């Protein structure tokens, strides 16, 4: 490791994480950054198992707080999503120090719950973007994520951000839907809210859009952009509306501007959306 | 039909409904109430099809308003659940007349969204209980539903109601979870909130309990009772907590009293819970 190596701590706040995925990330780094300009270190707690989770709530919270607060790590990358961060966010945020506030953090999907709470708590360097586990399956995805994590590079940003300079956030639809009204919900007034979804039936997307766009707090956003809705769970009979038609309908009905597409999703093309 | 026949109008506000199910209900009524003391009439719109739904939003709303407002019907029974009532509730409630306010209404699952909005609007004779479609598969279930619909009979009430005389409501967990913060959410202060669930993975139950019990409005309930959580979608790996452990955990964490079991669920034993 060089003296000026940029050190990224990788933590897992949600579902179980396979050691083999960590080894794949390390192999990718060795191949693509052999000069040692960037190093990733997986917290050992990533590989713990507690039912559904990567370790129990205490273990996942402690691991994140440890790496976030440690000045030897320059940025924090989330290993993967799944489910589980909502259980630890309030505890975690109360324990983060000033060092933690200087770092960049990147993740999406379930990690959005943690990013939301941190955004509400005033953290300034948060982004919805590729995670360690999925990004290294595609070189471009990984480099896009690392460019922002290491330098705050804007090359990999979601393209509408270059045109529309309003504040923005991005979330998995289910995650923001399950955040509203809780102490973790940030003030999204005048923000562009980008949403994406994976592995949900369209009737659920419709119901979540009812719930989300019915919230007085969400009616204050500058508008909604729709990312990719992929691996849709089949509906029998066919739902009758596409995901975009559903989102347009509820935006229209609730008076929220529908702003078009967002280049985000549970896929290799998932672009970076810094919060704020 | 006798002069004093109690006339029940059946409507469908959610998913498609099969004509064969209506015929099964009519056959059950002919067999069990041949004297014509009770008659059920299915609104023709029950059999319309619009993608996922039993007719488009306008058709479902109009059919419900027509039967609810019509003095020739003494009570309204919902045909089935599924998904879709949230799309029409606000429109429907604005069009209901004083006749509609005198009637009893019974349903559960997706229909809970409509009952919630009606409860908020001051309707006094609403119950979470068996619907037309599923109840006639079991004689006891149907008689329990009809006894309340026709006479307000308390024989089929959820048993804790006889002991605990606090106000109560019952909802499918997903339905109340997707209601909070919307204009349809009733004030449940000092109510016992009974919940049940079907066909959901336990990680989703956990996430919904996070969302539900994090709401300041829900923290005002007198307590939560848990009905049956059935046909649980498998979790791989095993989630690690049972549904009751999940509900206990979030009740404890949020300061909401956990009051034990409720005799409700997506099954033949589903008891009646009048709102209020």
CATH number (domain holding residue A210): 3.50.30.60
Say yes or no: B102 and B65 in one domain: yes
Q: 0.90 cut: is pTM over it?
A: yes
Say yes or no: B138 and B217 in one domain: no
pLDDT of residue A3: 72
List CB contacts (< 8 A) between A211 and chain B.
86, 178-179, 181-182
Q: What is the mean pLDDT of residues B38-59?
A: 97
pLDDT of residue A4: 87
Q: Do A240 and B53 touch (CB under 8 A)?
A: yes
Q: What is the mean pLDDT of residues B107-119?
A: 98
Say yes or no: B73 and B188 in one domain: no
- Give the N- to C-terminal CA distance of chain B in Å, as an integer: 33
What is the rounded average pLDDT for all residues in chain B?
97
Least confident residue range of A31-35, A240-244, B132-136, B236-240:
B132-136
A18 — contact with chain B (CB < 8 Å)?
no
pLDDT of residue A1: 60
The string of pLDDT tens digits covering residues B185-234 is 999 999 999 999 999 999 999 999 999 999 999 999 999 999 999 999 99
Secondary structure letter of residue B224 according to DSSP:
E
Say yes or no: A126 and A224 in one domain: no
- Does ipTM exceed 0.90? yes
Q: Would residue A1 count as lying in a domain?
A: no
B211 — contact with chain A (CB < 8 Å)?
yes
Nearest to B214 among A181, A202, A203 (CB): A181
Q: Do B240 and A86 touch (CB under 8 A)?
A: no
Say yes or no: A194 and A175 in one domain: yes
Q: What is the mean pLDDT of residues B53-63?
A: 97
What's the CATH number where A26 sits? 3.40.50.10740
Say yes or no: A128 and A180 in one domain: no
Most A CBs within 10 Å, among B179, B181, B213, to test the A interface: B181
Question: Before B234, cis peptide (omega within 30)?
Answer: no
pLDDT of residue A32: 95
Q: In what order do the strands lie in the sheet with A192-198?
A: A168-172, A192-198, A223-230, A258-261
The total number of residues written for chain B in this structure: 276
Evaluate if residue B276 carries a pLDDT over 90: yes
- φ/ψ region of B146 (left if φ > 0, alpha if ψ in -120 to 50, else beta) reads alpha
Q: What is the mean pLDDT of residues B117-141?
A: 95
Q: Would residue A190 count as lying in a domain?
A: yes
Q: Would residue A32 count as lying in a domain?
A: yes
**Which of A151, A182, A208 finishes a domain?**
A151
* pLDDT more than 70, % of chain B: 99
Q: Would residue B87 count as lying in a domain?
A: yes
**Which of B151, B169, B200 finishes a domain?**
B151
What CA–CA distances, in Å, run from A275 to A104, A115, A131, B81, B209?
11, 9, 16, 39, 27
Virtual CA dihedral for B134, B137, B139, B145, nearest 10 degrees? 10
Evaluate if residue B2 carries a pLDDT over 80: no
Say yes or no: A96 and A39 in one domain: yes
Q: Would residue B220 count as lying in a domain?
A: yes
Question: Before A237, cis peptide (omega within 30)?
Answer: yes
What CA–CA distances, in Å, run from A138 to B46, B84, B276?
50, 40, 56
CA gap B72, B152 in Å, rounded: 19
CA gap B25, B134 in Å, rounded: 9
Q: Would residue A156 count as lying in a domain?
A: no
The total number of residues written for chain A in this structure: 276
**Which of B97, B118, B151 finishes a domain?**
B151
Q: Would residue B156 count as lying in a domain?
A: no
Pairing of strands B223-230, B192-198: parallel
pLDDT of residue B3: 72
* pLDDT more than 90, % of chain B: 96
Residues 6+ apart with CB under 8 A from A261: A225, A226, A227
Q: Which residues of chain A have pLDDT under 70?
A: 1-2
Say yes or no: B138 and B189 in one domain: no
Say yes or no: B188 and B147 in one domain: no
B19 pLDDT band, cuts 50/70/90, is very high
Say yes or no: A110 and A216 in one domain: no
Q: Would residue A255 count as lying in a domain?
A: yes
pLDDT of residue A212: 98
Nearest to A238 among B51, B83, B216 (CB): B51
CA gap A117, B240 in Å, rounded: 26
Evaluate if residue B1 carries a pLDDT over 80: no
- Give the N- to C-terminal CA distance of chain A in Å, as an integer: 33
Specify the number of domains making up chain A: 2
Range of A28's domain?
A: 6-151
CA gap B134, B114 in Å, rounded: 19
Q: How many other CB atoms are found less than 10 A from the CB of residue A151?
A: 11
Say yes or no: B56 and B124 in one domain: yes
Q: Which of B59, B54, B129 is nearest to B84 (CA)?
A: B54
Say yes or no: B30 and B128 in one domain: yes
């Amino acid at each position: 490791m060089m003296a000026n190596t940029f050190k990224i701590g990788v933590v897992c706040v949600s579902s179980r994480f396979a050691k083999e995925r960590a080894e794949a990330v390390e192999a990718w780094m060795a191949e693509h950054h052999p000069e040692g300009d960037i190093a990733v270190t997986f917290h050992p707690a990533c590989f713990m198992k507690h039912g559904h989770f990567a370790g129990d709530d205490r273990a996942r919270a402690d691991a994140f707080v440890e790496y976030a607060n440690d000045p030897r790590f320059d940025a924090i990358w989330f290993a993967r999503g799944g489910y589980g961060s909502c259980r630890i966010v309030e505890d975690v945020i109360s324990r983060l120090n000033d060092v933690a506030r200087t770092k960049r953090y990147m993740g999406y999907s379930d990690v959005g719950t943690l990013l939301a709470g941190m955004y509400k708590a005033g953290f300034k360097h948060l982004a919805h973007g590729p995670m360690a586990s999925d990004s290294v399956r595609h070189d471009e995805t990984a480099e896009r994520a690392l460019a922002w994590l290491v330098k705050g590079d804007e090359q990999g940003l979601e393209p509408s951000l270059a045109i529309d300079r309003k504040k923005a956030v991005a979330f998995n639809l289910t995650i923001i839907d399950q955040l509203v009204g809780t102490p973790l919900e940030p003030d999204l007034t005048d923000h562009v809210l980008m949403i994406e979804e994976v592995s949900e039936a369209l009737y659920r997307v419709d119901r979540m859009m009812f719930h989300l766009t019915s919230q007085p707090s969400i009616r204050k956003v500058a508008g909604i952009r729709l990312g990719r809705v992929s691996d849709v769970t089949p509906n029998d009979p066919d739902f009758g509306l596409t995901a975009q038609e559903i989102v347009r309908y509820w935006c229209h009905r609730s008076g929220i501007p529908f702003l078009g597409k967002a280049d985000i999703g549970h896929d290799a093309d998932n672009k970076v959306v810094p919060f704020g």
